[in-house]
Structures are given as structure tokens and as C-alpha cells.
């Protein structure tokens, strides 16, 4: 399926869409990630093979989309996802799959979707990482408007955090109160995740208003959860919630 672009907010948002039955599966990648990753590709291929509608996208400043990553925020990317969903997704219901930061974004998108939201699947979901992911010295630098850089194992080293992103993220924290989402939620998390503590998924499960929430710890799984059997577990979970 060819990559297409969608004009929004002065940017060209790259996306891939395959039509089919619902609920439509929408994948939200992680921080500085894009729709070319193994999980996104596996989901898209599974949906195409099974006649299911699917939407992938690159946030502005990421992947094939236009824009500068330094200008990106959770609020901006949430609005891009919602606009693209409104314009391109035909199904009445949506199943959101969010990886790492995308797991935070799926909560923000889900709350805006209202009755269209069918279910959520988090993969090492990382809500509120602007709070627990940085030490006090780093937060002071970000608060003062300074970009900070950290070592990374994900192909972009060093990895930047821009003050604009951090300030917006601080205004979108969710774990301190009840998250008003009542749909089924599955939270997949690798037991050996060195980037997002597995306890984050348990905190999220407690914060959600839904009575149908399961945390699924993956034996030996790291943050990526991209081994063959990790992806099989993900696809099985999508099938279960469909």
C-alpha cells in the first residue's frame, strides 16, 4: 500500500490506509518513531490479509511527514491523529494501539473519540514520562527552555527532548487522577523493559475507569517487544478485541 499525505496544520502528514471491516485498527508509534517499524508493518499486513481497516501515520516532524521534530508536542500529534481519523477512517469504531509514547497518545486520542472508541492496546505504554522519565536537574533545564540530550539505543543518538514538547507533556499528565475511559484495555509490557518500568502499566491500569483492563507481562521482553512471538501476542490481542 502506497504512502499518501494529508494536509493538516500547515504540514503534510504521511499515512498508509487499507480499507476493510471494522473496528479500524489505528497504530500510534513511539517517540521519534514512525510507521516503518516492525510492529506497525505487522499490524498493517495482518489487517490487509484479514480484510480489516487499518491506519498508520507519521507524526509531523517524524518519518516521511513534513515539519521539524523540535516543534512537535503531544497536543499537536493528538490533533493530527484525530483529523486523519475523521478524514480517512470509514469504520464506526476504532481500536487504538499505542507503543511507548504512543500509549500515552492513545489515551488522549481515545478520550477525544467518545463513542467511536472500541478498545485500547498499549505496548510498553508510557503515560506521564515527562514526570518520571527525567531527573530534577533535567527537569530544571527543560523548565528553563533548554533542550536536553540523552544516550539512546534506538538509532538516534543522542536523543533530544525539546522544552516545547516537555512543557506540553506536563500539561497532559494523566496518572494523577481517574482516566475517564471505560472500554476494554490490554497493556502488554516486557518484563525486561529497561526504558519504561513495567510498574507504569500497573499504575495505568489502576487509573483507568474501565472495569475490563488486563496487564500482560511478556516473559523476557524488552522495551521494543518486536520478537516474533511478541508480535504474535500483539496480533492475537487485536483479534481478541475485535
Taking CA atoms, 167 is separated from 59, 131, 184, in Å, by 18, 10, 30
Pairing mode, strands 94-99 and 21-28: parallel
Pairing mode, strands 21-28 and 52-57: parallel
Q: Which of 58, 128, 168, 193 is catalytic?
A: 193
Separation CA 176–CA 181 (nearest Å): 15
| Whole-number CA gyration radius for the chain | 17
CA 148, chain centre distance (Å): 22
Q: Which of 100, 128, 195, 230 is catalytic?
A: 100
Q: What one-character DSSP code corresponds to residue 179? A: B
Q: Which of 58, 60, 223, 230 is catalytic?
A: 223
Question: What does the buried/exposed string (b/e) look like for 118-142 if buried means 16 or more CB atoms within 10 Å of the residue's CB?
Answer: bbbbbbbbbbbbbeebbeeeebebb
- Does 223 qualify as catalytic in the annotation? yes
- Does 100 qualify as catalytic in the annotation? yes
Task: Name residue 87's beta-bridge partners.
Answer: none
Q: What one-character DSSP code corresponds to residue 212? A: -
Contact 89, 66 (CB under 8 A): no
For residue 2, give the C-alpha cell: 502506497
Catalytic residue IDs: 100, 193, 223
Amino acid at each position: 500500500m502506497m504512502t499518501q499525505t494529508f494536509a493538516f496544520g500547515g504540514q503534510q502528514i504521511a499515512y498508509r490506509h487499507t480499507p476493510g471491516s471494522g473496528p479500524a485498527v489505528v497504530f500510534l508509534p513511539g517517540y521519534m518513531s514512525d510507521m516503518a517499524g516492525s510492529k506497525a508493518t505487522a499490524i498493517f499486513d495482518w489487517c490487509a490479509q484479514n480484510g480489516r481497516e487499518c491506519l498508520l501515520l507519521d507524526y509531523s516532524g517524524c518519518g516521511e511527514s513534513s515539519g521539524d521534530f523540535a516543534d512537535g508536542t503531544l497536543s499537536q500529534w493528538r490533533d493530527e491523529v484525530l483529523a486523519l481519523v475523521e478524514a480517512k477512517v470509514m469504520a464506526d469504531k476504532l481500536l487504538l494501539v499505542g507503543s511507548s509514547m504512543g500509549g500515552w497518545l492513545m489515551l488522549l486520542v481515545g478520550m477525544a473519540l467518545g463513542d467511536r472508541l472500541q478498545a485500547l492496546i498499549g505496548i510498553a505504554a508510557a503515560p506521564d514520562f515527562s514526570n518520571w522519565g527525567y531527573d530534577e536537574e533535567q527537569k530544571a533545564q527543560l523548565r528553563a527552555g533548554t533542550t536536553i540530550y540523552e544516550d539512546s539505543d534506538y538509532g538516534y543518538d543522542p536523543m533530544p527532548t525539546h522544552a516545547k514538547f516537555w512543557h506540553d507533556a506536563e500539561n497532559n499528565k494523566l496518572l494523577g487522577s481517574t482516566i475517564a475511559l471505560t472500554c476494554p484495555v490490554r497493556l502488554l509490557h516486557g518484563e525486561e523493559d529497561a526504558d519504561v518500568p513495567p510498574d507504569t502499566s500497573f499504575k495505568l491500569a489502576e487509573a483507568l475507569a474501565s472495569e475490563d483492563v488486563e496487564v500482560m507481562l511478556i516473559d523476557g521482553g524488552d522495551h521494543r517487544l518486536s520478537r516474533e512471538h511478541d508480535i504474535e501476542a500483539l496480533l492475537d490481542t487485536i483479534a481478541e478485541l475485535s
